Amino acid sequence: MKNYKFIKIIILAGGILSKFSYQALANDRELIVLAASSTAGLIHELSNEFYHAHNSKIKFSISSSGILAKQVKLGIPANLIISASIEWIDDLISNNRIDTSYIKPIFQNSLMIVKNINQELETKIDLTDPRSFYRALGKGKLVIGDPTHVPLGKYTVNYLKEIGIWDEISQNTIQQVNSRAVVNLIARNEATMGIIYQSDINISNNIIPIKKIPGSSRKIIYYVAIIKGYRNAESIKLYNFLSAPKLIQIYEEFGFIRVK
164 vs 10, more confident:
164
Cα distances (Å, whole numbers) of residue 3 to 31, 47, 175, 184, 247:
19, 11, 35, 26, 18
Residue 221: the pLDDT is 97
Please report, for the chain, the start and end positions of each structural domain, with discontinuous segments joined by +. Answer: 7-108+221-258, 111-218
**Across all residues in the chain, what is the average pLDDT?**
89
CA-closest candidate to residue 62, choices 7, 1, 144 = 7
* Secondary structure of 102-114 in HEC code, one letter for each residue: EEEEEEECCEEEE
**111-218 has the same fold as 7-108+221-258:** yes
Cα distances (Å, whole numbers) of residue 233 to 30, 50, 79, 106, 237:
11, 14, 11, 20, 6
Question: 111-218: CATH homologous superfamily?
Answer: Periplasmic binding protein-like II (3.40.190.10)
Residue 29: the pLDDT is 66
pLDDT digits (tens, 9 = 90+) for 217-255: 889 999 999 999 999 999 999 999 999 999 999 999 999
Residue 18: the pLDDT is 36
Distance separating alpha carbons of residues 164 and 158, to the nearest angstrom: 10
Partners of 142 in the β-ladder: 173, 193
244 vs 123, more confident:
244
* Residue 103 pLDDT greater than 90, yes or no: yes
Residue 9: the pLDDT is 41
Q: What is the CATH number of domain 7-108+221-258?
A: 3.40.190.10
Residues of the chain above pLDDT 90, percent: 83
pLDDT digits (tens, 9 = 90+) for 14-68: 433 434 344 444 455 689 999 999 999 999 899 999 999 999 999 999 999 999 9
Burial 108-127 (b: 16+ CB within 10 A, else e): bbbbbbbbbeebebeeebee
122 falls in which pLDDT band (50, 70, 90)?
confident
Residues of the chain above pLDDT 70, percent: 89
